[in-house]
Structure 1
Amino acid sequence: MSASILIVDDEEAIRTSLRSILEDEGYEVAVAGTGLEALKIYGTDPPDLMILDIWMPEMDGLETLRRVKEFVPTTQVMMISGHGSIETAVKAIKLGAYDYIEKPLSLENVTFRVKQALEQYRLAQENRALRSKVERKFELVGQSPVMQRLRELIETAGPTNSRVLIGGENGTGKELVARAIHLHSTRSEHPFVAVNCAAIPETLIESELFGHEKGSFTGAISMKRGQFEQANGGTLFLDEIGDMSLSTQAKVLRALQEQQFTRVGGTKLMKVDVRVLAASNKDLEKEIGKGQFREDLYYRLNVVPIVVPPLRERREDIPALVQHFMKLHAEEQGLRMKDVSLEAMGVFQQYDWPGNIRELRNLIERLMIMVPGFTIEAAQATLSLQGRTTGAVSASPSAAPLLLNKSYDSLRDARNAFEKDYISRKLREHHWNISRTADDLKIERSHLHRKIKLLDVEMRPEG
């Protein structure tokens, strides 16, 4: 689809010549003789680019630009003028214009600048789409009272430059909270750098955080910038900081106090402006008592404490979370969304989720792949949770092997194994009656017969 351009100029000759040359270039071109006319067009069909004259009667180009930017902030605008000045050009750029061209117009120059403007607009759109996708992936989902309180804390802490210590069990979404704080801060346009302190060997963590100079140790074949440098101007998130050694804790404390450090093997002081957020699933006060965590570092980090609630304390959020993860996985893998029966949702809400949000997300991904139909039923949900649900919905005895956690050579093998087990259980429920089982599965009897033969389902009538 070709890009659309709106030409706004009170001189008909300029509108006609520009329209002709740009249509020859393959663009869809519309024209307007006044700023008011341009605003009406933006109200119905905003173009990809507007070429806007500054000196026009009734409403000049600068006022038109200001109103258009209020209406569509992302619009791309090129200003043209035959009586321009540096002051006017600067004012147009401050109001959000992308470019400024003086008359008389060189058509070759105009077409070149138009291509540049549209390419920049395309890249900006892609960037916004990518950012929106990333933000959806890291979105905090749920309207339970504990989540509303969590959001209030994030919105309070975000705009400050204070350090935040985030606590909570494994899988509760501590990194999501850290990212949300970053997005609510004045640093949101700068890097967010996450470091999992538990995943980096002790021999490498100092180099990972502070960088190293070439030749500073065996294998240091080039200079490396550490995470503190990479996060300069933005936010550094130190996840599982309770697993960091005491010697590394001392170096982090010094970097926090002085906002400067030296790379491993270097002598030059590196100054940085970094906001540090930290998280741990451990009780750091107990770790201090055991001599495993520095008290002075704890108080440096724990300026604003935030605790992320476990999923079992926000069960009312589970339906929204299920839909959220299902949509994300469908988009990522190109799969069709599935429905979740009320009974299956009840199974999810009765389960205690020891792995919290991470466990729920992984489960939804498995079910999206392995459930053959378009609806996730209670029996499939129960099977996937290995009979550990509580309450009214009990697990089937056949769930014990937990098929979803087995290793398979291919997706087809995994689906066949799940389908075979599911059909076997349905046959047992209906005492091996093919007709009733087929009705329950909502398939034809002949289709069920083929499935039994294809999957080698063992028929064991009760007698």
Structure 2
Amino acid sequence: MTAPATLLIADDDSVALDLLAEVLTREGYRVRAAANGEECLHVAEAEPVDLAIVDLRMPGLDGLQVIQRLAAIQPGVPVLVLTAFVTIDTAIEAIRAGAYDYLSKPFRMEEIKVVVRRALEARRLASENRQYRRELEGLYNVRNLLGQSPQMVEVYKLVARVSGLDTTVLIQGETGTGKELAARAIHYASPRAGRPLVVVDCTALPEGLFESELFGHERGAFTGAVSTRRGLLETSDGGTCFLDEIGDLSPTLQAKLLRVLQERAIRRVGGNEVLPVNVRIIAATNRDLGTRVAEGAFREDLYYRLNVVTIVLPPLRERSQDIPLLAQHFLEEYARAADKPTRGFAQETLAVLSGYHWPGNVRELEHAVERAVALSSSEVLVPEDLPDLLRRGPEGNLRLPTATMTLDQVKQWYVARVLEEAGGNKVRAAEILGIDRGTLYRLLRRQTSEGDPDE
């Protein structure tokens, strides 16, 4: 039987404190009550808790100070803030300090119950994500790749299978999906892991220079060739050569690469000697090579030589459930590198990240998080820390409420946006919002009588 979650409640209002403790105890939680911020921190130092509910305004240590110190004592514990003075500024301040959510006084017990369940569920999922990630790393040896979606699990399985083989692999996927990371995962899980992995960008150099880079050249082969130089295929001997964007190779280089795959040997530019090479080829492309073959732009025989095993990396928009995991990974990486206090995302920020279509895929997400960490000075990233492009809808209209809106207007705005995302389906919208249909209908009636908050 699962042990009940432990809730820590801090409020200098004894009536509110006793009421919350009684109601949440009846819900099956183990409740620890504290009459002020100092007492709250003493409890947190003495025993682990799963969730904290903290009043914003208390004598001595206020709610914001308690949130910050709690994060140091028990990192990762979600905190709900209670306040009788809710404004956009105080809400944003609480979220920036690290609060999971905020609730206004006088509070409604049904709302408290829903938000507590949601916060505990988010914590449980975060813990499961970390455990699941460790299991995947151990099972499939895919430390470089991130994601727990079904699409990525299939990628992990295929990477694990082909790593022990010596066959040629073709990795397909849009720009920014992580093709090089997949190639590295294959190489470092293979018997060739102790030998070089050489990455070759097939679009980086003009054809003449690229041929010399790939195959090497003899002294005097062309103007400026003052000495013999080994090419990248030679330097990767015994290891792996990763040919990125192979779909852009010229017909001449396609023919020479085909010969390498057939003969396992090369000739340097300007040379006659055939030099054997023991190298595994992993190729990647963001193009449809089958279409390129049909168009006559890519050799069919080379395509079949490369296409022994194909791994297709899904675009980020097709695995949006991986976005929070990826975003948190990048946040921790860049916060650690910059020695910043940033440790997480506000729920609204994750909603923006999950709702964006990410044409640049994982690379674009990484850059967005890197920028947010660099510009933010708080522990929790809020939507305003993200690039404007992410916070705008397809028509260029802001997806987020403005700072001049009241809290009620923000709630109306959010309900309207959720209803829009649900295609007008009120049952689905109520499920997303975590409320019953009756509450949703009351909110919509109030919105109709007061007008659209966007106007």
TM range (shorter): 0.5 to 0.7
Question: Quick one: distance in 1 between partners of 2:344 and 2:208?
Answer: 48
User: Who is 2:388 aligned against?
Assistant: 383
The 5 Å alignment of 1:35-434 reads: 139-381=144-386, 383=388, 385-388=390-393, 394-396=398-400, 426=403, 428-429=404-405
Measured in 1, the distance between the counterparts of 2:298 and 2:387 equals 41
User: 1: CA distance between counterparts of 2:253 and 2:387?
Assistant: 45
Q: What per-residue deviation string (whole Å, max 9, x for no partner) do you get for residues 420-452 of structure 1?
A: xxxxx63x4469xxxxxxxxxxxxxxxxxxxxx
Give 1:266 deviation, angstroms.
1.6
Please, what is the CA RMSD of the aligned residues?
2.4
1:26-69 Cα shifts (integer Å, max 9, x gaps): xxxxxxxxxxxxxxxxxxxxxxxxxxxxxxxxxxxxxxxxxxxx
Greater shift, 279-288 or 328-337, is seen at: 328-337
Do the aligned partners of residues 174 and 305 (structure 1) sit closer, same or farther apart at CA in structure 2, a change above 3 Å counting? same
User: Partner of 2:190: helix, strand, or coil?
Assistant: coil
Structure 2: how far apart are the matches of 1:330 and 1:376? 11
Against the structure 1 CA distance between its residues 239 and 358, is the aligned structure 2 distance closer, same or farther, given a 3 Å change threshold? Answer: same
The secondary structure found in structure 1 opposite 2:226 is coil
In structure 2, what is the equivalent of residue 418 of structure 1? none
For residues 226 and 201 of structure 1, the distance between their equivalents in structure 2, rounded to whole angstroms, comes to 15
Quote the sequence identity (%).
Answer: 46
TM-superposed deviation, 1:368:
0.7
Paired residue for 2:125? none
**Counterpart contact for 1:379–1:396, Cα < 8 Å:** no
User: Structure 2: where are the runs of 5+ without partners?
Assistant: 1-136, 408-455
Contact 1:137 1:328 in 2 (8 A): no
Kept in 2, the 8 Å contact 1:347–1:389? The answer is no
Report how far residue 209 of structure 1 moved: 0.6
CA distance in 1: counterparts of 2:276 and 2:156, whole angstroms: 32
For residues 266 and 163 of structure 1, what CA distance do their matches in structure 2 show? 27
Number of aligned pairs?
267
- Which structure ranks higher in relative contact order (CA pairs < 8 Å, sequence separation ≥ 6)? 2
TM-score normalised by length of structure 2: 0.55
| Matches of 2:335 and 2:143, distance apart in 1 | 16
In structure 2, distance between residues paired with 1:270 and 1:388: 57
2:341–2:378 CA contact under 8 A, matched in 1: no
Tell me how far apart the structure 2 counterparts of residues 240 and 332 of structure 1 sit (CA, whole Å).
30
How much has 1:324 moved relative to structure 2? 1.0
Task: Return the letter of the residue paired with 2:334.
Answer: H
Assess if the C-alpha contact under 8 Å between 2:341 and 2:377 holds in 1.
Answer: no
Letter in structure 1 aligned against 2:230: R
Cα 1:314/1:389, change in 2 over 3 Å: farther
Q: Is the 8 A contact 1:138 1:176 kept in 2?
A: no
Give me the whole-angstrom Cα distance separating, in 1, the residues matched to 2:385 and 2:328: 17
CA distance in 2, matches of 1:208, 1:336: 44
C-alpha distance after superposition, 1:258-283 (max 9, x if no partner): 11111111222211100001011101
Q: Which runs of 5+ in 1 are unaligned?
A: 1-131, 398-424, 432-463
Alpha-carbon contact 2:315-2:361 (below 8 Å) kept: yes
Question: Which structure has the larger Rg?
Answer: 1
C-alpha separation between the residues in 1 aligned to 2:394 and 2:219?
Answer: 55
Deviation at 1:362, TM superposition (A): 0.6
- Alpha-carbon separation, structure 2, partners of 1:219 and 1:292: 32
Would the aligned equivalents of 1:191 and 1:231 in 2 still touch at CA under 8 Å? yes
Query: Structure 2: which amino acid aligns with 1:372?
Result: S
| Contact 1:166–1:307 (CA under 8 A) maintained in structure 2 | yes
Distance of aligned partners of 1:331 and 1:229 in 2 relative to their CA distance in 1, 3 Å threshold: farther
User: Does the C-alpha gap of structure 1 residues 137 and 147 become closer, same or farther in structure 2, counting only changes over 3 Å?
Assistant: closer
Q: Note if contact 2:246-2:284 (Cα within 8 Å) is conserved in structure 1.
A: yes
| Counterpart AA for 2:340 | L
Residues 1:382 and 1:344: Cα distance change in structure 2 (over 3 Å): farther
The Cα of 1:386 is off from its aligned counterpart by 5.0
For 1:137 and 1:371, locate their aligned partners in 2 and report how far apart those are by CA, in whole Å: 31
**Equivalent pair of 1:235/1:276 in contact (CA under 8 Å):** yes
Residue 184 of structure 1, CA deviation: 1.9
SS in 1 for 2:223: coil
